Amino acid sequence: MEGRVPPPPPDGDDTDDNSLPLQSSGSKSLPPTPPPPPPPLLITPPPDMCSETYVIQIPKDQIYRIPPPENALFVERRGKKPVEKNKKSRPKCWVWITGSILVVLALIIALILVTLSIVYRSKSPSFSVAHVLVKYARNSTHKHSQSAGYTISLKANNPNEIMGIDYDSGGVVTLSSKGKKIATGKFPSLEQGETGFKKIKVFLKGTKETIPKEIEKSMKANKTKVPVSLTLNAKLRVKLKLGVIKTWIIDMDVACKFKVNTLGVGSMILSEECQN
């Protein structure tokens, strides 16, 4: 007796024992593999467009950011600019320094020219003796000597219309009688304005030399006056000025010959003449 044959499997079920994954009771299942990335989509323009344009879509994980070459040129230019500025600024500095030096030299030359014009166009001051006052006291150590003090008033005339005169310290004044010095002193330091007269008092102190007899008689005379001829010599140091500009020190010699009626009370100038 023949046995029964099992029916064939249905048509839709073509599974085979080989196609099923092998699983063992003692092993773990493997993780599923990730699906492949989607292919890039190509979008083609319609045929009616003149230019052909392609748009490519790339996943973000495959985009690498590389700076364009213009950035390298920009960085290179930025690095070179300071050097070029320094090179260009050096000539400008030299130009400024040279210009400043030239301006200073021009000012100095102009100042020298103005000073020289002041010196050559200026006129020397003139002097005249206005008054003589004598104060004396006998010296007990020597019967023939006297200690006397002389105050001589001078009138200084400045003929310059736009320039003043500064009398510097250091001027020396001497009073003589017949070539013999009887008193010495210093010319005072003062300023005189433009175009005018100025009264200047000069204080002289008697020397240790014995006073001439005619000088002594003129000092002691009360009723009868004894005229005396004297000579005043002065070595002055003056500066001419025009505004704030002053010249250098100019040495000036002044010699005045004058005659007084007496060296006592009521002294008056009989004649005088000054040269410089």
- Residue 65 banded pLDDT, cuts 50, 70, 90: low
- pLDDT tens readout for residues 192-204: 988 889 999 999 9
| 3-state SS, residue 6 | coil
- pLDDT tens readout for residues 132-166: 988 876 554 434 445 688 999 999 999 888 888 99
pLDDT for 24 equals: 45
Q: Residue 123 has which token pair?
A: 């006129």
Contact assessment for residue 255 and residue 275, using Cβ atoms and an 8 Å cutoff: yes
Contact assessment for residue 274 and residue 254, using Cβ atoms and an 8 Å cutoff: yes
Examine the pLDDT at 68 and tell me if it is beyond 60: yes
φ, ψ for residue 126 (rounded to 5)? -110, 155
What lies within 8 Å, CB to CB, of 154 at 6+ separation is 127, 128, 129, 130, 199, 200, 201, 202, 256
Q: What is the pTM of this model?
A: 0.56
pLDDT for 22 equals: 43
Q: Maximum Cα–Cα distance for the chain, whole Å?
A: 208
What lies within 8 Å, CB to CB, of 223 at 6+ separation is none
pLDDT for 38 equals: 66
pLDDT for 64 equals: 59
What lies within 8 Å, CB to CB, of 147 at 6+ separation is 136, 137, 138, 139, 206
Measured CA to CA, the distance from residue 224 to residue 34 in angstroms comes to: 152
Measured CA to CA, the distance from residue 233 to residue 252 in angstroms comes to: 11
Contact assessment for residue 168 and residue 248, using Cβ atoms and an 8 Å cutoff: no
Examine the pLDDT at 66 and tell me if it is beyond 60: yes
Residue range 95-109: mean pLDDT, rounded: 89
Name which residue leads in pLDDT, 128 or 225.
128
- Residue 112 banded pLDDT, cuts 50, 70, 90: confident
Contact assessment for residue 124 and residue 239, using Cβ atoms and an 8 Å cutoff: no
In a 13 Å sphere around the CA of 17, the CA atoms on its Cβ side amount to: 0
Distances (CA, A) of 256 to 73, 152, 158, 192: 92, 12, 17, 20
What lies within 8 Å, CB to CB, of 233 at 6+ separation is 173, 174, 176, 253, 254, 255, 256
Contact assessment for residue 146 and residue 137, using Cβ atoms and an 8 Å cutoff: yes
Residue range 113-132: mean pLDDT, rounded: 83
In a 13 Å sphere around the CA of 133, the CA atoms on its Cβ side amount to: 6
Distances (CA, A) of 239 to 109, 171, 197, 251, 254: 20, 12, 17, 9, 15
pLDDT for 45 equals: 56
pLDDT for 130 equals: 92
- Residue 216 banded pLDDT, cuts 50, 70, 90: confident
